[in-house]
Amino acid sequence: MAFIIDGKKIAAEIKDELKQKVTKLTEDGVAITLAVIQVGNDPASSVYVGNKKKACEYVGINSLSYELAESTTQEELLSLVEALNADAKINGILVQLPLPSQIDEDLVIKTISPTKDVDGFHPQSVGALSIGQKGFISCTPGGVIQLLKRSGIPMEGKECVIIGRSNIVGKPMALLMLRENATVTVCHSRTKNLMEVAKRADILIVAIGKPLFVTKDFVKEGAVVIDVGIHRDAENKLCGDVDYQDVLEHVSAITPVPGGVGPMTIAMLMNNCVEAVTKSK
Ligand code: NAP
């Protein structure tokens, strides 16, 4: 029987551990403040931002909201980010993506001070990760590592195949698995014989952005499957990039959707906010 990796429970454990740390910091007179910027009112972004603020409240982190109009110019957003960079009371800056088309996302990310880059998207954070130096780790891939570690799933020496090479999931995921001494293969839309490559995996991490794409034909008997995807199916129910029911009997462990990787992203954001005051980046 497959072991179901309970992301909700592990995320709750992490948030409880952080809450204890934050209580101690507060007793020592150290406050943590996260600035959350949302441009426009995309409903999905509003839900994500709302969940992040709720998590801050739970852990004991102050969150300051900046809700800007859809028509905000690039200059206006950049000057807000620069003001927050210069404000010593702000420890973390999060700009909810995607941004409206008049704004260059890469430029905004680059403008955030690397010392406050709690999303881990700044080129300096990504570069530091790639050469094994200190820096913030992108929350979703960081969450996957915690899921594996806290479920007692060894990574060292394992064949890990990652499907997807995006800057926010696939690429940092590959660097983190390398850091854990896995043997890593990264697949993308030009990969030949994807099924055969995926079937080599002891640990298969799927971040392809296509609902129910990965079936049992992609999975080696006894593999661990981590599903990063989030979608709504035809009945408006949440599902992942993996056809969970189809692969379930073939795997040794798997993350469900919902309740797998999703809750970990916010827990790791909280972790990065705490690290912003406890570790120099
Ligand atoms: P993305 O930027 O769209 O990247 C998708 C990747 O999959 C690309 O590298 C693409 O290859 C590859 N790909 C697409 N079709 C393929 C195919 N037929 N065969 C092989 N590779 C293929 O997506 P993302 O931002 O990484 O997100 C992936 C999924 O994770 C989405 O469902 C997203 O909603 C979800 N997500 C969840 C969380 C969370 O908190 N749980 C966080 C972030 C993302 P190319 O590079 O060649 O185009």
Atom number in ligand 1 closest to CA 264: 40
| Claim to verify: residue 105 and residue 160 sit in the same structural domain | no
As a whole number of angstroms, the distance between CA 92 and CA 79 comes to 16
Among 101, 116, 131, identify where a domain stops: 116
Atom of ligand 1 nearest to the CA of 211: 32
- Alpha carbon of 29 to ligand 1 centroid (Å): 42
Same-domain check for residues 149 and 219: yes
Residue 160 resides in a domain: yes
Q: What tens digit of pLDDT does each residue of 38-71 get?
A: 999 999 999 999 999 999 999 999 999 999 999 9
Instruction: Note whether residue 57 is domain-resident.
Output: yes
> Does the residue 204 lie in any domain?
yes
- Across all residues in the chain, what is the average pLDDT? 97
Q: In angstroms, rounded to a whole number, what is the distance separating the alpha carbons of residues 113 and 271?
A: 18
Residue 95 and residue 145 in one domain: no
> Are 201 and 168 in a shared domain?
yes
Helix axes 7-27, 139-150, angle to 10 degrees: 110
| Predicted confidence (pLDDT) at residue 220 exceeds the cutoff of 70 | yes
Note whether 144 and 251 are same-domain residues.
yes
Query: Would 102 be classed as within a structural domain?
Result: yes
Strand 159-163 relative to strand 203-206, pairing: parallel
Whether residue 58 is found in the same domain as residue 98: yes
Question: What's the rounded Cα separation, in Å, for the pair 229 and 144?
Answer: 12
**Does residue 149 form part of some domain?**
yes
Which domain covers residue 58, as residue numbers? 29-116
Say yes or no: 185 and 112 in one domain.
Answer: no
Q: What does the pLDDT read at residue 233? A: 87
Do 194 and 251 belong to one domain?
Answer: yes
pLDDT at 99: 97
Same domain, yes or no, for 206 and 241?
Answer: yes
Instruction: For residue 107, give the CATH number of its domain.
Output: 3.40.50.10860
Rounded distance between C-alpha atoms, residue 267 and residue 146, angstroms: 10
- Are 149 and 109 in the same domain? no
Residue 52 known to be catalytic: yes
Q: How far does the chain reach from its first CA to its final CA, in angstroms?
A: 42
pLDDT at 208: 98
pLDDT digit string, tens, across residues 81-139: 999 999 999 999 999 999 999 999 999 999 999 999 999 999 999 999 999 999 999 99
Say if residue 157 is in the same domain as residue 213: yes
Q: Which of 121, 244, 220, 212 is nearest to 161 (CA)?
A: 220
Q: With contact defined as beta carbons under 8 Å apart, do 193 and 199 qualify? A: no
Query: Is 220 inside a domain boundary?
Result: yes
Name the residue with the closest Cα to ligand 1, atom 31.
209
On the CB side of 122, CA atoms within 13 Å amount to 20
Write the CATH number for 203.
Answer: 3.40.50.720
209 CA distance to ligand 1 middle (Å): 4
State which H helix or E strand residue 106 sits in.
Answer: helix 105-111
Q: Which of 82, 101, 116 is the last residue of a domain?
A: 116
Residue 241 CA, closest ligand 1 atom number: 32
> Is 151 a member of any domain?
yes
Same domain, 180 and 243: yes
* pTM score of the predicted model: 0.97
Q: For residues 128 and 135, what is the distance between their CA atoms, to the nearest angstrom?
A: 6
Cβ neighbourhood burial of 38 (10 Å; 0-12, 13-18, 19+): buried
Give residue 208 CA to ligand 1 midpoint distance, Å.
3
Query: Domain tally for the chain?
Result: 2
Does any domain span residue 34? yes
